[in-house]
Amino acid sequence: MFLHYIDLSWRSIKRTPVISFLMVFAIAIGIGLTMTSLSVYHMMSMDPIPHKSGNIFYPQLNIMDDGNEWHSSDNLPYQLTYQDAINLYNADIPVLKSPSFRSGFSVHLNSPEVKPTMEPARLVNREFFTIFDRPFVYGAPWSRDSQDTHEYVVVISEKINDRLFAGKNSVGQHIYLDNNSYRIVGVSANWEHHVKYYDVNNGAFNVAEQLYIPFSIAPLEEIGTWGNMNGWKHENSKGYQGLLASERVWIQFWAQLNTMQEKQQFGDYLISYMDDQREKGRFNREVLEFKLRNVTEWLEYNKVVSEDNRILVGLSFMFLLVCVSNILGLLLAKFLKRAPEVGVRRALGASKRHIFAQHIVEVSVIGLAGGLLGIAIAQLGLWGVRVTNSYYGALANMDVSMLLTAPIIALTASFLAGIYPAWLVCRTQPAIYLKSQ
């Protein structure tokens, strides 16, 4: 019977092509707009590393003396000082952890044939690659020895490898970052993240860095940050060494804590560390405070998905509702015009349920067609977002879940629009129309 209803729907659509097209178009516009905003929102809010987002933690320490305030919701700085980051990394706790910060270099081969380019880089420790499951096309992260001996090694992205080495295995080759030669130890796969969750301080939707070098090289080369740096008190520190010893925060830090016990131990360590630092003259505060947030908590805390985005999604759904109400009117006109035919069907044995099902299937066919056209319109909308705002480029895409969601929303919307007209027409008293036809 279902296939028969589909057949009847198709005939009905062909019989009233203009009104049918209007309904399909109304749903398509509504779905197009809704899916555009919903896709961006979905990409923004989706878990970037779902298999372990609950096990990767970002520590925050309240470094300020009593009486000082930070501009965060819980009075905690968003980043760590260099000295805290180093101390936490060197702590004797058997978990994966890594400090990091964003910088950038002029990348070249010290040859006039290849034009230098400016590329963003990240200074990390080797554990960073394991914590964030970074796959390698060639090679591997640098060794602990290389890191401890301040060896000038680099992991380059696939993109840079393609540009400088035509995609061939470049492990063992050297490239220049500014004026220093670095030995390539690995080529990591391009990092196509939607949200740069490991460093939201420096633009949550920025593209991933193309170079990774050991964190230990930073003090040697006095590598500056390309990110935010904040302080809470006046300091007379001068030069790079002064920065490293200062209370200014500019380092991100991640630790992989696989169990509640590991998290508890790490938290206990943070308290004892702050207590120890207090004895050395830092952390002059009565109550020592810290926070360990996992990836999803961290993104929420940083309001990566802003209220504006939520409002936009809400508005687009309201627009869809307007479309639905228009379709409802058109469906009422269309279905009630068909009441005489329904009267005949009822006389021939159709129950109200049959008539209702027939019309709901027709509405669903219209909804599905609108949904598919809506996906095309949404693609156009997302293309518009990509073209006009490169910062949101990676977000303006529809993944499979959104492609599947679009027809579901379209079907739901059309069902909402059609339920009343279908109910009304299924209550047709056959006797009224049989004589008058």
Partner 1 sequence: MLTMNNVSKIYQTNSVQTHALRDFSLTVNEGEFIAVTGPSGSGKTTFLNIAGLLEPFTSGQYTLDGVDIGGLSDNQTADLRNQKIGYIFQGFNLIPDLNLYENVEVPLRYRGIAAKERKIRIEQCLEQVGLASRAKHLPQQLSGGQQQRVAIARALAGKPRFLLADEPTGNLDSLMARQVMELLEEINKNGATIVMVTHDAELARRAPRNIQVVDGQLADFTLYQGKPTLAATRDNETVVASGV
Sites of contact with partner 1 (CB under 8 A): 1, 4, 11-12, 15, 340-341, 343-354, 429-431, 434-437
Residue type, 142: W
- Give 307's strand partners: none
Is the CB of 315 or the CB of 431 nearer to partner 1? 431
Q: Which two tokens stand for residue 409?
A: 């929303």
Whether the CB-CB separation of 68 and 233 falls below 8 Å is answered with yes
| Number of Cβ atoms within 10 Å of the Cβ of 277 | 18
Q: What is the largest CA-CA distance in the chain?
A: 100
The residue behind tokens 């998905």 is 305
Whether the CB-CB separation of 208 and 119 falls below 8 Å is answered with no
Is the CB of 8 or the CB of 292 nearer to partner 1? 8
Give the span between the Cα atoms of 204 and 391, in whole angstroms: 9
As measured in angstroms, the least distance from the Cβ of 422 to partner 1 is 15
As measured in angstroms, the least distance from the Cβ of 11 to partner 1 is 5
As measured in angstroms, the least distance from the Cβ of 28 to partner 1 is 25
Is the CB of 109 or the CB of 344 nearer to partner 1? 344
As measured in angstroms, the least distance from the Cβ of 8 to partner 1 is 8
Give the span between the Cα atoms of 65 and 62, in whole angstroms: 8
Is the CB of 231 or the CB of 340 nearer to partner 1? 340
Is the CB of 346 or the CB of 359 nearer to partner 1? 346
Give the span between the Cα atoms of 313 and 307, in whole angstroms: 10
Is the CB of 264 or the CB of 351 nearer to partner 1? 351
Is the CB of 287 or the CB of 348 nearer to partner 1? 348
As measured in angstroms, the least distance from the Cβ of 26 to partner 1 is 24
As measured in angstroms, the least distance from the Cβ of 367 to partner 1 is 21
DSSP 17-78: HHHHHHHHHHHHHHHHHHHHHHHHHHHHHS-SSTTTTTTEEEEEE--SPTT---SSTTS--S
DSSP 130-165: HHTT--EEEE-PPPHHHHHTT--EEEEEHHHHHHHH
Give the span between the Cα atoms of 89 and 95, in whole angstroms: 10
Is the CB of 3 or the CB of 400 nearer to partner 1? 3
Give the span between the Cα atoms of 89 and 99, in whole angstroms: 7
Is the CB of 2 or the CB of 115 nearer to partner 1? 2
> Distance of CA 11 to CAs 7, 15, 16, 300, Å?
6, 6, 9, 50
The residue behind tokens 């935010």 is 228
Is the CB of 11 or the CB of 144 nearer to partner 1? 11
As measured in angstroms, the least distance from the Cβ of 358 to partner 1 is 11
As measured in angstroms, the least distance from the Cβ of 348 to partner 1 is 4
Whether the CB-CB separation of 78 and 249 falls below 8 Å is answered with yes
As measured in angstroms, the least distance from the Cβ of 192 to partner 1 is 51
Reduce the DSSP state of residue 102 to 3 states and report it. Answer: strand
As measured in angstroms, the least distance from the Cβ of 424 to partner 1 is 15
